[in-house]
Structure 1
């Protein structure tokens, strides 16, 4: 099929006579009668005799060129990339490549994939020059455009009281969240909405309305969510006390919220429905409070073995038919035992029917899914139903003596020991968050420990049990949502997750850990603000902080070259355009030293590291290295440095309060006890800080602006002659903190890489090796995190990035032309044509004086007169972009894939 040509003709300028114009026309007619000269527009200040032309289809016979036979199977596109020869770089040099998924100008080490890749860039691969040898790479982080720190801003104020807050469920790399919202129409209906968080891309989907809530302005109609073993998404909503049937929504397609939901009615008088899905046995357990229409309430459950199509007969779990007036109400985070999978644990409070807004007492029991009997904490069989007397005699954890209490959450450790956190006024009439657990040695619940104050005792907490000595809790303290940790003996406040503002009466609370796989480190809880209006916001939090709403732009990749960069320039390919591919990012294969700490939480860091923790605690938590230690005490991990005299140490760190100064947590390169350099931050003055020991002489540099609880990138570059320490907020733009000439005593290989806290000044005062020294005044305890640490080879000037080739596609024929020697000399004047990439309707001929800084597709720089040798076909990729230095020629209309430059 013939490609359509632009409907325009070039405007020729700078030709001095009609005779010269005729010469140009005759030459073009004789030498290239079917060449189409397309419209151009000018570039200023450049001149040489170059003629840019496009071949018509009728002139392509005999000029087609194919790519080499090697092509990575399954991929649709690639671009070539050349890295210039660099003395000292050697083999296995690792380079950063910044990859954007959209359209832009390829320059330096930045490339755009023209919207042909997967959104998450999981299909990106790198090969050597042969196009098939896969190179090791690591995707360090995504580049995002910030939108907001909340995932919903339309939560009905009545839907964020306990039992009605946003719920979440994790399944197959996504966390689905649901809430009672208004949507764009602001119709005050309180309908159920859903969106999901993709853990691989850290990207929030758009929000979708699940259905119509017939209960309207009533918090009892708030939705929940779960996902069955086939990937179908379910939600229950819209019922209370028999007024309206419970609505069951099921997604029309697996793992899809955009293809709609089918709604069916469950004719039960169900309030506060909670679902616990047993994926191991494909059984759905539905729990709810039941109203019989005659003033009696009880707690019931039903089961389904066909993903909610049919349900078995309702069964009473707590029966209050004896007329005591007790109503089981504020039940906590009940759920499947994450270890044994054969129990559903629950805690609850009750209220007196005569005063339905005063909740009291804390209770606990579990349902054994093997015999479907209820048991108390001591294992006493309570039969299939618990009556009020059994509840009081066997299930009571705490009698609050008519003071308010709100049973929050119950979770177990690997031994089945239950832990409960709740808010109550029972002790002194003021609200506090409390913690208790079952002591099997004394066969009793330990006296509840008061953790912190809370303004509303109905602000229920939630928590995650890693083991009996490692618990993370999320508590409303005052009006703030805070994070605390338990070491088996004491609670310690780690950080404020979200602070209440003074601009309105708002507090943050109601944290809930998502159900499903337990737990997901990067999204551990959802929570919301409590504000008596219709614009409450809902948030999520994980190991990297608030899970903000971003649009995904690109990513930072590190690629290990296979050739010897000291001897030759290296050409590699970036492949993309394979929707079925998933990322093969692997830092351990990319760097000589690497650790992303992505492994199960444990008090053992890893066998490759030596732990020098002193009296502190080193652990893996939330896929990060966690350091708990007092201000002036050492606590770190270390391992032998790669055998490289020039190197870069790089990583991320989040320092909490009480860092100390000289002992502040840091990344350190260590030659010996009194020759080392480290970089981090201290909270004493909110400073980024470099400390150096040069033959027992301490040097330091600092800069303000560092915030406790924030993640920063740090790196130390050790070159042949210069050592630099830098910090960054995004890993792309760096701030120089320290630059010194490399001391003679730092020549040679470093002996250790050290991560954490430690210090040494001289042998008299600090005799400990490997920075294992402490002060006699240890200071206060603090918690700090380190992540994504690597060491790479380095030369004082990193390799020069050459040029990018254009999009290549094995299914699209690429064209070229060969030109006749001497054609350049026959031109009457210096001219160049350039396509007009905006209107396509105007064209120009422009004079050029010097194009020595242009680089063409073959990689050969042009001489000042534009000469690259006669009879050489030179090609730019015309389908995308061309460059002069950093100035791009933007993409033009793509009917012609290449333009040839006649010389």
Structure 2
């Protein structure tokens, strides 16, 4: 596994294509990055395609600001159609004018082509915009950047440089909180907090669950915040550090910026979580030989956590690992309940979960796309009117596409028409990748790939 990771990290430094750093420069359009892992199987790469809004462990990627009446969003961009060169980008959609600005390069990744280094976003109490740029273990460090002006994306300054992968920053009523991962031999979950964004606590280990004493561990997570105070995270575990055997589902939460942690029913937990059968475990999938792929989480109106994920029989793409079942696991107030939403054809299909009262919606590439057994597909909206128990397809958003749509992401405090956004690209072959956003009435707009003016209107395509 370590050898494979080394190969992946090494190959991610190819395709430079540039001789100068373009950080804090405006780009003349929205161009998303295409990527392939290079782990090949009979039915294609383990994952490849349009990964501009990748990964599911980068949370959040967009925030609506009522004060600015704008949605600010980050993504993995690139400089031109024929390059695979990662630029950590930020753009803005103005709800008053219906226009987008030219995007800004927050950080030029200096030749890295790997969207594992994509950014996440946070807005602080003084309306400064923060961009957390992911690193990759200790080979490539992570960064925290802050805008030099409130609610303005023209220029960013570096605040910290540190080891962090999969950044998940949250602004809460009690301060700023950051879930992230360190590659301490394997993927372990950490957290830190801050009162000003500049000075942070020491990194604290949250989860490290080996199966047997002496074995390795590893985890992936998704997180969210409820009512400005309760921070929750769902995570899986990697038996003996083997990421392709990811399984089980755990949940922990804190209401005091990580000073104390509990299960969903308030049972106090010692951290780090180290036991496989910890009371934090929500679902035992290991006994069912099921893999678990984290997608999204949300809270219902009562503050009960809900996780969206795909479960399957393995990591290999194609029929061998099917069914690829989209599921929600929720806390009922007394116990954990799991319901099936639908099926798709790949572990790395990714969508978002929206909860308003008893009406829950999932938006994602659940429909067969033009590249079978590849990442993404055609987008659909699934709805449940009984808090996740039963689901029906409300509408299909895209059809007859030439390339696949993937990694549908929801903004924090989303506002129509920018309710979710994603990128498209060929699932198996290098291709152009564009960025789209849409609303729940089925309207879809494409961000301009080439821009002449500082602000332009997106093009309505559906």
Structure 1 residue 480, shift from structure 2 partner: 1.5
The residue correspondences of 1:504-519 to structure 2 (distance < 5 A) are 506-515=403-412, 518-519=413-414
Residue number in structure 1 paired with 2:180: 288
Q: Aligned pair 1:537/2:428, yes or no? A: no
Secondary structure of the corresponding residue to residue 372 of structure 1: coil
The residue correspondences of 1:268-667 to structure 2 (distance < 5 A) are 269-278=163-172, 280-281=173-174, 283-292=175-184, 295-306=185-196, 308-320=197-209, 323-329=214-220, 331-332=221-222, 334-337=223-226, 340-353=227-240, 355-369=242-256, 372-389=259-276, 391=278, 393-400=279-286, 401-425=288-312, 429-440=322-333, 443-446=334-337, 448-467=338-357, 469-477=358-366, 478=368, 479-488=377-386, 489-499=389-399, 501=401, 503=402, 506-515=403-412, 518-529=413-424, 531-532=427-428, 533-544=430-441, 545-549=443-447
Distance 1:453 1:370, change over 3 A: closer
1:225 to 105, 121, 144: 121
Secondary structure of the corresponding residue to residue 415 of structure 1: coil
For each residue in 1:338-372, what CA deviation from the matched residue of structure 2 results, as whole angstroms up to 9, or x when unmatched?
xx322111112222346433422222221222673
Secondary structure of the corresponding residue to residue 290 of structure 1: strand
Secondary structure of the corresponding residue to residue 341 of structure 1: coil
For each residue in 1:498-518, what CA deviation from the matched residue of structure 2 results, as whole angstroms up to 9, or x when unmatched?
3362x4xx4323222112xx2
Structure 1 residue 194, shift from structure 2 partner: 1.2
Distance 1:315 1:493 in 2: 42
Residue number in structure 2 paired with 1:170: 64
For each residue in 1:828-867, what CA deviation from the matched residue of structure 2 results, as whole angstroms up to 9, or x when unmatched?
xxxxxxxxxxxxxxxxxxxxxxxxxxxxxxxxxxxxxxxx
Distance 2:331 2:81 in 1: 49
Structure 1 residue 299, shift from structure 2 partner: 0.7
Q: Check the 8 A contact 2:188/2:217 in 1, yes or no.
A: no
Distance 1:298 1:394 in 2: 16
Secondary structure of the corresponding residue to residue 183 of structure 1: coil
Q: Check the 8 A contact 1:245/1:265 in 2, yes or no.
A: no
When Rg is computed on C-alpha atoms for both structures, the one with the higher figure is 1
Distance 1:496 1:249 in 2: 38
The residue correspondences of 1:835-846 to structure 2 (distance < 5 A) are none
Distance 1:323 1:270 in 2: 25
Structure 1 residue 157, shift from structure 2 partner: 2.6
Distance 1:398 1:523, change over 3 A: farther
Distance 1:366 1:360, change over 3 A: same
Distance 1:513 1:156, change over 3 A: same
Secondary structure of the corresponding residue to residue 255 of structure 1: coil
Distance 1:519 1:154, change over 3 A: closer
Distance 2:111 2:274 in 1: 31
Higher RCO (C-alpha under 8 Å, 6+ residues apart):
1
Q: Check the 8 A contact 2:81/2:432 in 1, yes or no.
A: no
Secondary structure of the corresponding residue to residue 326 of structure 1: coil
Q: Aligned pair 1:251/2:147, yes or no? A: yes
Q: Check the 8 A contact 2:254/2:262 in 1, yes or no.
A: yes
Structure 1 residue 218, shift from structure 2 partner: 2.2
Distance 2:81 2:421 in 1: 25
Q: Check the 8 A contact 2:35/2:114 in 1, yes or no.
A: no
For each residue in 1:483-507, what CA deviation from the matched residue of structure 2 results, as whole angstroms up to 9, or x when unmatched?
1111115312111123362x4xx43
For each residue in 1:630-651, what CA deviation from the matched residue of structure 2 results, as whole angstroms up to 9, or x when unmatched?
xxxxxxxxxxxxxxxxxxxxxx
Residue number in structure 2 paired with 1:188: 84
Secondary structure of the corresponding residue to residue 116 of structure 2: helix
Secondary structure of the corresponding residue to residue 310 of structure 2: strand
1:216 to 96, 112, 124: 112
Secondary structure of the corresponding residue to residue 357 of structure 1: helix
Distance 1:209 1:371 in 2: 32
Structure 1 residue 219, shift from structure 2 partner: 2.5
Structure 1 residue 525, shift from structure 2 partner: 1.4
Structure 1 residue 186, shift from structure 2 partner: 5.8
For each residue in 1:574-615, what CA deviation from the matched residue of structure 2 results, as whole angstroms up to 9, or x when unmatched?
xxxxxxxxxxxxxxxxxxxxxxxxxxxxxxxxxxxxxxxxxx
Distance 2:146 2:208 in 1: 31
Structure 1 residue 432, shift from structure 2 partner: 1.6
Distance 2:140 2:313 in 1: 36
Structure 1 residue 263, shift from structure 2 partner: 2.2
Q: Check the 8 A contact 2:435/2:446 in 1, yes or no.
A: no
Distance 1:208 1:480 in 2: 29
Structure 1 residue 434, shift from structure 2 partner: 1.4
Q: Check the 8 A contact 2:418/2:437 in 1, yes or no.
A: yes
Q: Check the 8 A contact 1:361/1:399 in 2, yes or no.
A: yes
Distance 2:106 2:142 in 1: 14
Structure 1 residue 521, shift from structure 2 partner: 3.4
Distance 1:371 1:287, change over 3 A: closer
Q: How many residues align?
A: 384
Secondary structure of the corresponding residue to residue 244 of structure 2: coil
Q: Check the 8 A contact 1:302/1:315 in 2, yes or no.
A: yes
Distance 2:397 2:245 in 1: 29
Residue number in structure 1 paired with 2:25: none
Q: Check the 8 A contact 2:360/2:383 in 1, yes or no.
A: yes
For each residue in 1:107-163, what CA deviation from the matched residue of structure 2 results, as whole angstroms up to 9, or x when unmatched?
xxxxxxxxxxxxxxxxxxxxxxxxxxxxxxxxxxxxxxxxxxxx8333233545433
Structure 1 residue 266, shift from structure 2 partner: 2.1
What is the CA RMSD across the aligned residues, in angstroms?
2.8
Q: Check the 8 A contact 2:285/2:291 in 1, yes or no.
A: no
| Unaligned runs of at least 5 residues, structure 2 | 1-28, 37-50, 315-320, 369-376, 449-454
